[in-house]
Structure 1
Amino acid sequence: MDLFSMSLKSVEDHWNRLKNASSTSFLKRNMTELIFKELKDKRTFFNGTLLDCIKGGCVNLDSGCGIYASDPEAYDVFSGIFFPVIKDYHKVGTVSHPNPDFGDIDNLGFGDLDPSGRYISSTRVRVGRSQAGFPFHPTAKLHDRVELESRAMEALQAFSGELEGTYYPLSEMSSTKQKELTEEHYLFLQENRFLGDAHVYDEWPVGRGIFYNPDKTFLVWVNEEDHFRFISMQQGSDLEAVYKRLVLALRSVEEKSSVKFAHHPQLGYLTYCPSNLGTTLRASVHINIPCLASQPYFHEFLEKHHLQVRGVNGVHTEMVGDVYDISNKRRLGMTEIQIVREMIVGVQAVLAEEQRLDGSLTKSDGVQFEGNIAA
C-alpha cells in the first residue's frame, strides 16, 4: 500500500476522495450522499463495515466495479448501495434470480463449437463459490483462512475418476512448482492492485492453494478472490465435455462433503464481487478472430450477443495477438443452462461474422451456423 492510501483513514476520507474524483466505476455511479450517510455506521455479524466494502474502489479510481462484499451478510446490510450497483452492472430492473438449473447433462446437445479447429484453441467454464457462514477477505482472520482451507481439502478428497487430483498449499509450494504453474497460467498470483487494496492478499499465502487433476482439465482455486473457484477446461472447442465435468464436480462437493455453498434467495450464489453473483458462471473460449476484432463495431457486436472480451490471461490483462477470451456477460437472472446456451449462440454469431469478413471460407469448413441449443 502506498503512502497516499495510508493517509486515508476513515470511511469519510475514502468517500470524499471518490466523490470528488473523475471515476466511472459502478460504485461512483450509484453512491449518493444520502446512501453514504445511511450506511456508513452499519456493521455486519462479522463486523464488516462500509469502508471494508468500498476501500478498493476509493483507492483505485480506475476500478470497474469499485465495491466488494466484506462478507455474505454485507449484501443485505449494505443493500442500499449493493442493489443499485447490481442492477446497474447486470442490467436488470429488479434483483432476482431463479433456482439453479444445470440442465440434463446426459442430453445437452451442445456439439462442437468449432469442429474445423480454425478459430477456437481452448474452452473453459468456471464458477465461484463461498462457504456458507464464513467471512470474505476484509473481515477474515487467520483462523478463518486456515479453517476454510481445511474444509476445502476435505471436499477435494471426495473427487474420484477424472476429477481426482492433488492439492498444493501455496504456503508449502516449492519455487520450482510455482514457476511451473505460473508459466502454464494455472496459478493465481499476488499481483492485482485492485484485489490487493480490497484485502484479498491479506496474510498471504496462508490458507491459499490450488488443486488439479493429472490432465489439468479440472482445477480448484482455494481462497484466491473467492473461497472456491471451480474451473473445467481443455484444448479445443468441446464445450459439452467441459461443462459436464464442472457440473459433476459441483455435485460431488455438495453430496460428498460438509461444504455448504452460500446462497441468497434474490442473488443466487454469493461471491466476493457483485459482478459475479447468481450463477457465477463464466463460459469462455480463446478464439482467433483478427477480422472481426479489427472492426470498429467489434465491442458493439459482442454487446448485442451478451458477450464480453478479456485478455487471454484474465481480467485486467492485455490481448495476445489476435486471440481473445470471449465469454458470456450475463450471470444473474438466468439459469446456468440458459446462460451457456446464450453463450453458444453468441460464439456461433462471432464465428459466422469472422467467416463473412474473411471471405475465403465456406460453411463446409465446419463452423456451426445453426444449432439446436438456441431455445
Structure 2
Amino acid sequence: MWKIKPPLEYAKEVRYRPILESLVPLDPITRLKLNRGAPKDEFPDLNQNKTTMARVLTLDMYKWQYDRATESGVIFDDVIRPGLEDPGQSSGPLSVGCVAGDAQSYILFCHFFDKIIEAYHGYKMTGQESDFNIDNLKGGDDFEAEYAVGCEIRANRCVEGFSFPTHCCRGERRRLHTLAKKAFGQMAEELPGKLYSLGDLEQGMLGDGFAMETATDLRMKTGVARDWPESRAAWLNEEGNVVVWINIEDHLQLITVRTDPNIKEAFNCIGAHLQKLEALYRKLRHSFVWKQQLGWVVSSPAEVGTGLRASVHLKLMHLPLHKWLGSILERLRLLMEPTGTAGSSRVFKVSNAHTIGFTEVELVQMLVDGVKLLIRMEKALEDPEGSIHHLVPAQK
C-alpha cells in the first residue's frame, strides 16, 4: 500500500513534454483569431441564391468545413464569398458561386468542391488527362464563312507555391510578376513579344479583339482586385494574336483571337504557347499546378480540368429563336451567348460548356462537330417549311 501518492507523471515525460508539443504542427485554424459564432449562426441565407454553390451547400456541410483552414489561411467562408456577393440570376448560364484561395483548398475542402464539380460539370472525379496534339483534331479549319465569322481560345494556369488571386498577398503577387518577366524574357527568341504593365496599358494597345481587364465591383468584393493595378501585366506576342494576362483572376490566362473561324489554327497556337511556358516555368522551379483527379488546377472550379474555353462566333437568325435550342445545346455540351450584331445578322459566341472530363483536343473536337451541326440547322430553318427534327442529336 502506498504511504504517499504515486507520481502522476514520470519525470522524463514532464521534462520532454514541452519539447514534444512544440514539434507538433499547429492546425492553421488555431493561428487565426476569428471572432465567429457557432456554424448555425454563421450559415448564410441561400434562399434567393441561384448559384451551384447554393444548390450544394447545406448546414451539415458548412459545419464539416467550418473549423478548417489551409496553410496559407484560406477558410471556408473565403471559398463561398463570390456566390454571396453575386447570387446569380434565375435565367441564363448557371454561376458556380465559389472560388479556391489556393491549391490546397481543393484538398482540404474536397467534400464541398467534389460535389460542386460534379454538379456544375456533370463529372465524377475519376482522373483527368491533357492532350494538345493537333493531329487528333478533325476539321476546325473548314467552317462556312457565311455563318462562322471568328473564333477565340482562352486557357488558364496557376503556379505551384503561390496562393490564388483571391487570397494572395502583395508580396506573392509581386513575385509572380517577377517570375513572369523571367519566363517571357527567356521565351523571347522562340516566341518574341512585349510585356506591358497594366498601369501603362490603354484601350487599343493590344489590338482588336482583346478587351482591357478592369477592377470590376465583383473583383473588388472578392479580393481579386486588391492593390489594382499593381503587379498586373499583359504580354502580347509579335504577331499580335496572343495575349497573356498576369495576376488577374488566375496567375496566367492565355488568349488567342482570330478574325476568321479557323479554330484549328487557334488551338495549335494556344497549345504551342502553353507548352513553351509550362517548360519555362518548370525550369524556374515553379510548375503549373496539376492534380491527377482534377487536371490543371485553377481558382474557379468552373475552369478546372483543362482550364480551356474555345469559342466560335456564328451569325444566326433563325436557330436562336427555336424552342428546342436549349435542349440541343445541352446535348452538345455547348453554351451560346450573344456578342452583338454584324450588319443585320445576330452574332453568337458558341463555346464548350465544361472543362473537365475530356482532354483539350476532345473539347475542341466537340465544339467543331457541334458548330457544324448548328450551321446545318440554321440552313434548314432558312426554308420556311424547313425542319430540324431529324438533326437533333442524342445526349453526348
TM bin (shorter chain):
0.7 to 0.9
Q: Secondary structure at the match of 2:276?
A: helix
Q: Deviations over 1:254-305 (max 9, x none)?
A: 2234241001121110111100000111110111112111222222221111
1:278 & 1:167 partners in 2: Cα distance? Answer: 28
For the pair 1:101 / 2:125, whether they are aligned, the reply is no
1:185 & 1:195 partners in 2: Cα distance? Answer: 22
Q: Secondary structure at the match of 1:18?
A: coil
Q: CA deviation at 1:326?
A: 0.5
Equivalent position of 1:5 in the other structure: none
Contact 2:195/2:234 (8 A) holds in 1:
yes
For the pair 1:168 / 2:196, whether they are aligned, the reply is yes
Equivalent position of 1:262 in the other structure: 289
Equivalent position of 1:372 in the other structure: none
Q: Secondary structure at the match of 1:138?
A: coil
For the pair 1:27 / 2:53, whether they are aligned, the reply is yes
Higher Cα radius of gyration: 2
Equivalent position of 1:3 in the other structure: none
Shift in alpha-carbon separation, 1:61–1:111, aligned structure 2, 3 A: closer
Equivalent position of 2:18 in the other structure: none
RMSD: 2.5
Q: Which moved more, 1:159-168 or 1:323-332?
A: 159-168
Shift in alpha-carbon separation, 1:164–1:31, aligned structure 2, 3 A: same
For the pair 1:210 / 2:239, whether they are aligned, the reply is no
Contact 1:111/1:238 (8 A) holds in 2:
yes
Contact 2:154/2:308 (8 A) holds in 1:
yes
Contact 1:113/1:239 (8 A) holds in 2:
no
When the two structures are aligned, how many residues end up with a matched partner? 340
Contact 2:139/2:264 (8 A) holds in 1:
yes
2:382 & 2:239 partners in 1: Cα distance? Answer: 35
Contact 2:197/2:232 (8 A) holds in 1:
yes
Q: Deviations over 1:60-80 (max 9, x none)?
A: 222711110011110111112
1:81 & 1:54 partners in 2: Cα distance? Answer: 10
Structure 2, unpaired ranges of 5+: 1-34, 90-94, 385-390, 392-396
Q: CA deviation at 1:15?
A: 5.4
User: Which of residues 100, 104, 111 in structure 2 aligns to 1:69?
Assistant: 100
Shift in alpha-carbon separation, 1:13–1:289, aligned structure 2, 3 A: farther
Q: Secondary structure at the match of 1:166?
A: strand
Give 1:49-198 correspondences, 5 Å limit.
49-62=75-88, 64-92=95-123, 94-103=124-133, 105=134, 108-114=137-143, 116-160=144-188, 163-171=191-199, 173=200, 177-181=201-205, 184-198=208-222
Q: Deviations over 1:225-258 (max 9, x none)?
A: 1111111221111122111111111111122342
Percent identity (aligned) = 24
Equivalent position of 2:8 in the other structure: none
- The TM-score, its normalising length taken from structure 1, stands at 0.83
Equivalent position of 1:283 in the other structure: 310
Q: Secondary structure at the match of 1:137?
A: coil
For the pair 1:336 / 2:360, whether they are aligned, the reply is yes
The letter of the residue matching 1:334 is F
The letter of the residue matching 2:128 is P
1:291 & 1:57 partners in 2: Cα distance? Answer: 35
Shift in alpha-carbon separation, 1:280–1:17, aligned structure 2, 3 A: same
Equivalent position of 2:17 in the other structure: none
Structure 1, unpaired ranges of 5+: 1-8, 313-317, 361-368, 370-375
2:126 & 2:338 partners in 1: Cα distance? Answer: 30
For the pair 1:299 / 2:299, whether they are aligned, the reply is no
Q: CA deviation at 1:181?
A: 4.4
Give 1:6-21 correspondences, 5 Å limit.
16-19=43-46, 21=47
Q: CA deviation at 1:14?
A: 9.6
Shift in alpha-carbon separation, 1:319–1:133, aligned structure 2, 3 A: farther
Contact 1:187/1:210 (8 A) holds in 2:
no
1:13 & 1:179 partners in 2: Cα distance? Answer: 47
Equivalent position of 1:233 in the other structure: 257
For the pair 1:46 / 2:75, whether they are aligned, the reply is no
Shift in alpha-carbon separation, 1:319–1:90, aligned structure 2, 3 A: farther
Contact 2:316/2:347 (8 A) holds in 1:
yes
Contact 2:165/2:251 (8 A) holds in 1:
no
Shift in alpha-carbon separation, 1:139–1:13, aligned structure 2, 3 A: farther
Equivalent position of 2:9 in the other structure: none
Contact 1:48/1:138 (8 A) holds in 2:
no
Q: CA deviation at 1:184?
A: 4.0
Equivalent position of 1:363 in the other structure: none
Contact 2:215/2:228 (8 A) holds in 1:
no
Shift in alpha-carbon separation, 1:46–1:326, aligned structure 2, 3 A: same
For the pair 1:222 / 2:246, whether they are aligned, the reply is yes
Q: CA deviation at 1:96?
A: 2.7
Contact 2:157/2:298 (8 A) holds in 1:
yes
Equivalent position of 2:24 in the other structure: none
